[in-house]
């Protein structure tokens, strides 16, 4: 084999190696620097708020882009807060402000057509009359942590449901689930939370007939409630 052929083979091998390197590197670059870019920005912005640290952050839907980003944060000297819907695909402050947990309490919201794991304290959430302060950003929610938690603590906890009325002839129910919180009078056994989950799992929205029976047992005051 002459020198010219060896050089040609070496050149072809180099090109193949370069193509393989690029094909492997580009997805890695996208995955590390682009795919998680928005979520990293959200985390950075939350961590920039005084006395706030992000404990965990995740996406509810990992598709071509990360969607439905949720963050669990700790507010120094106060407690933890879980904010849902921080990514651009679902972000709709101040109309929709979704809280999954606050101060050791989580939620189930129930109306005749849906079942959720967040309370909406935004302008279109049915709870706006309870809040005298304006909420425009996640930072505003964090600033009013104490006031929001005070309202939640005034609600009944499971197995009782909170019957919420808003606007004209609209209503829904909120189940407040206490969790184990090591903080004096706030300490509540975890099995209270687990028992409610076990009870409610029998009425999954995946089984329409069971769901309908459960919904119809609730003390609705208006047949047109949504």
At 118-161, the pLDDT tens digits run: 999 999 989 988 888 889 999 999 999 999 999 999 999 887 88
Residue 163 scores a pLDDT above 80: yes
* Residue 90 vs residue 180, higher pLDDT: 90
pTM above 0.85, yes or no: no
* Residue 111 confidence (pLDDT): 86
Closest by Cα among 96, 94, 39, 99 to 67: 39
* Residue 168 confidence (pLDDT): 82
* Residue 36 vs residue 185, higher pLDDT: 36
Closest by Cα among 73, 69, 90 to 81: 73
At 41-94, the pLDDT tens digits run: 999 999 999 999 999 999 876 665 667 899 999 999 999 999 999 988 889 999
82 within 8 A of 58, measured Cβ to Cβ: no
Q: Which two tokens stand for residue 45?
A: 């912005």
The string of DSSP codes covering 78-131 is TEEEEEE--STTT-BTTTB-EEEEETTEEEEEE-SS-EES-EE-STTSS-GGG-
Q: Which two tokens stand for residue 95?
A: 């109309």
Residue 5 scores a pLDDT above 70: no
């Amino acid at each position: 084999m002459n020198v010219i052929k060896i050089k040609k083979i070496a050149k072809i091998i180099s090109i193949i190696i370069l193509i393989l390197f690029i094909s492997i590197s580009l997805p890695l670059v996208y995955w590390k620097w682009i795919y998680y870019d928005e979520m990293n920005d959200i985390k950075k912005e939350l961590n920039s708020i005084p006395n706030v640290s992000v404990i965990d952050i995740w996406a509810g839907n990992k598709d071509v882009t990360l969607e439905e980003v949720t963050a669990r944060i700790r507010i120094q000297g106060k407690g933890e807060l879980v904010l849902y819907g921080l990514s651009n695909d679902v972000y709709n402050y101040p109309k929709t402000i979704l809280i999954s947990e606050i101060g050791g309490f989580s939620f189930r919201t129930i109306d005749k057509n849906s079942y959720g794991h967040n309370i909406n304290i935004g302008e279109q959430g049915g709870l706006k009359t309870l809040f005298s302060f304006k909420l425009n950003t996640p930072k505003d929610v964090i600033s009013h942590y104490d006031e929001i938690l005070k309202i939640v603590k005034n609600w009944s906890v499971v197995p009782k449901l909170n019957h919420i009325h808003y606007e004209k002839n609209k209503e829904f129910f909120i189940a407040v689930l206490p969790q184990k919180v090591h903080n004096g009078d706030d300490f509540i056994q975890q099995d209270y939370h687990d028992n409610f989950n076990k009870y409610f799992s029998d009425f999954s929205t995946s089984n329409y007939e069971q769901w309908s029976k459960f919904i119809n047992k609730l003390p609705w005051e208006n047949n047109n409630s949504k």
